[in-house]
Amino acid sequence: MSADVATNDDENGTGRRPLLSWLSTLAMVGGVGAAYATLAAFMGRFLYPARPARRGWMYVTEADDVPSGGSIVFRTPAGATVNVARRGGGRSAEDFVALSSVCPHLGCQVHWEGHNDRFFCPCHNGVFDPDGIATGGPPGEAGQRLSRYPLKVESGLVFIELPLAVIARGDGRVEAPPRPTGPGHDPCLAGRPPAAEA
Amino acid sequence: MANPLVNWFHERLPLADVDLRELTNEPVPNHLKRWWFALGGTPAYLFVVQALTGVLLAVYYQPSAQTAYESVRYITEEAAYGWYLRSLHKWGATFMVAAVILHQMRVYFTGAYRKPREINWLVGMTILTCTLMLGFTGYCLVYEQLSYWGAAVGANIAGSVPVVGDFMKQLLLGGEDYNERTLPRFYVIHAAALPIALALLVAIHIAVVRLQGVTETTFKDDAKRESKTFNFFPDHLMTEVMIGLVLMVILTALASIVPATLGPPADPLTTPEVIKPEWFFYVAFRWLKLFSAQAAILSMGFIVFTMFAWPWIDDWIRRKTRFSEASVWIGIAGVLAIIALTVWEAVVAH
């Protein structure tokens, strides 16, 4: 349709010049706008984190140091606590689970309650079973679970996957001794030094 | 029909259209249609580029001896478009120094510093000094070998100034020598103190230009034109937009073809075999090799003082002697000397 208008106007000796002028202005403004918009997009992308952090395997403990049905608490070099639980008697990765201690509700630290056989979040009473699945409180209502660390067992040694930047900060350490679970178990005894038990 | 939005603003900002027109439509002399007279707008545009890219780089940069180099490496190698933004910042700095020098030269050779524009010459010289200091402090922040030794040499030059030298050096380094408190100092000077000072100086500079008007120069073909002036908005602004676009294209091309690199990390125990500052300090670096430290620093101080005081010196020469165009010949000699010393330093290793 615009071509018709241009032709008609051209016959009258007017029209083509204003149209070309209008088109060239549009092209120039568009070009300048697109160029600076590209720059702005680059700047925006620059601010967003580059890519997921590179990750590696960190040694946690010997597989046999975690009793079947029990768990240990591992503190990473960055200070995060990881609950490593053994669910089966075998020595494969499927027999272990490494759970983050960060509550999926609002990020508080959960802790293990041996006598209740559960993880508990003191902030909003979130409750998680030994596999990390929420069974009560806001995370339970939302169907959330504690996030799992990728875990592998090699030559009887347990490793979890962490960002390389965390691994580079030093060694992690096992904080709480193995916690056997089961009927009749008194969790209060688990943390006592041998002298007190004697 | 009155636009309700326009009315809304008018009720809150009592600024009449006529005032706005007067504010933006400063009549500009015809000679500013020549691009080399628009060189004052070039550093202003580059200052915006430097501020924008600088703020972005500051998001990732960590000013401490332990983290600075790694954070620059992260920006260059890992952050998305980090290499591009850092290269823009680096080339923008080079162009800004060059643009300020060229602008200053244009003002010098056209005698635009003469009465009543002496104050703006002083402001312009201070802007040049700030720009050079921004270049120096920015170079030090990378914390590669040349950054470290550049800072060390720069601080020792400041320390060689008679009477106040030691005080200046201690103030610059935050101690007797380069230490863990030095890099944060350079960072604050580079990213806060100098940019704020420069922004204020540019505001004063432009305000004085507006108050006094631009000096008029007439060329042969200007006489044929009917009007002696044209409008700032949109005519001159369009020239500036075009200059900005051309600059952006050149900066992007340079950033892509010759991106900012990263040398070996700073090692306070080993001075590199070949040590050079940024190109705009080549002249001072060569000067320091020609004379003893004290003589070189005192003579450089004298030259800088002469440059600041030039409007009054020139006035004295024009009144007391018959060499009314002496400034042109002195200027040509000065520029040739600066080019010669810069090229000399550039082509030799030591």
Q: Average pLDDT in the B113-133 region?
A: 93
Quote the minimal CA–CA distance from B155 to chain A in Å: 34
What tens digit of pLDDT does each residue of A20-62 get? 999 998 998 998 899 899 999 999 999 887 777 788 999 999 9
Q: Token pair for residue B131?
A: 């720009």
Residue B24 makes CB contacts below 8 A (sequence gap 6+) with B232, B233
- The Cα B329–Cα B312 span in angstroms is 17
Residue window 78-117, chain A: list those with CB within 8 Å of chain B.
none
| B242 close contact with A: CB closer than 8 A | no
Least confident piece of the model among A120-124, A139-143, B27-31, B124-128: B27-31
Instruction: Report the relative pairing of strands A126-128 and A134-136 from DSSP bridges.
Output: antiparallel
- 3-state class of A124 per DSSP? coil
DSSP output for B5-20? HHHHHHHHS---HHHH
Summarised one tens digit per residue, pLDDT across range B149-188 is 989 888 988 888 888 989 999 999 988 888 888 999 999 9
Residue B122: pLDDT above 80? Answer: yes
B292, burial (CB in 10 Å: exposed 0-12, middle 13-18, buried 19+): exposed
Q: Which chain A residues are within 8 Å of B78, Cβ to Cβ?
A: 50-51
* Nearest-angstrom CA–CA distance, B169 and B160: 9
Give residue A94's Cα distance to chain centre.
Answer: 20
The backbone torsions φ and ψ at residue B271, rounded to the nearest 5 degrees and listed phi first, read -85, 130
Chain B CB contacts of A27 below 8 Å: none
Q: Do B52 and A45 make contact, defined as CB atoms within 8 angstroms?
A: no
- Asked if A58 contacts A160 with a C-beta cutoff of 8 angstroms, the reply is yes
User: How do strand A55-62 and strand A118-121 relate by DSSP bridges?
Assistant: unpaired
C-alpha closest to that of B94 among B35, B145, B134: B134
- What CA–CA distances, in Å, run from B191 to A90, B67, B127, B146, B185? 59, 17, 16, 20, 10
Cβ of A46 within 8 Å of Cβ of B80? The answer is yes
State the burial class of residue A155 (Cβ atoms within 10 Å of its Cβ: 0-12, 13-18, 19+): exposed
The proportion of chain B whose per-residue pLDDT surpasses 90, expressed as a percent, equals 52
CB within 8 Å: A46 and B56 = yes
CB B146 within 8 A of CB B157: no
A159 - beta bridge partners? Answer: A59, A152
Q: Which of 272-291 (B) contact A at CB < 8 A?
A: none
Mutate which: A25, A43, A51, vs B, most B CBs within 10 A: A43
Please give the backbone phi and psi of residue B196, each rounded to the nearest 5 degrees, phi first.
Answer: -65, -45
The b/e string for B323-345 (b: 16+ C-beta within 10 A; e otherwise) is eeeebeebbeebeeebeebbeeb
**B56, B78, B84 ranked by CB distance to A50: nearest:** B78
Is any Cβ of chain B less than 8 angstroms from the Cβ of A51? Answer: yes
Residues of A in contact with B84 (CB under 8 A): 42
Q: Given this model, what pLDDT does residue B341 score?
A: 94
Q: What are the φ and ψ backbone dihedral angles of A95, each rounded to 5 degrees?
A: -85, -5
Question: Touching check for A42 and chain B: CB below 8 Å?
Answer: yes
What pLDDT, in 10s, does the model give residues B318-350? 998 888 888 999 999 999 999 999 999 999 877
Q: Tell me the shortest Cα–Cα distance from A15 to chain B, in angstroms.
A: 24
* ipTM, interface predicted TM-score of the complex: 0.73
The length of chain B, given as a count of residues? 350
Provide the shortest C-alpha distance from residue A21 to chain B (in Å).
Answer: 16
Chain segment B236-257, per-residue pLDDT in tens: 778 888 888 899 999 999 999 9
* Residue in chain B lying closest to A53 (CA): B78
Region of B102 (left: φ > 0; alpha: ψ -120 to 50; beta: rest) is alpha
Chain A interface disruption, residue of B52, B77, B81, most A CBs within 10 A: B81
What value does the mean pLDDT of chain B take?
88
Q: CA of B99 to nearest chain A CA: how many angstroms apart?
A: 22
Q: Locate B11 and state its tokens.
A: 């009720």
Our CA angle for A12, A15, A21, nearest 5°, is: 155
Pairwise CB contact (< 8 Å): A47 & B84: no
Assign A143 to helix, strand or coil.
Answer: coil
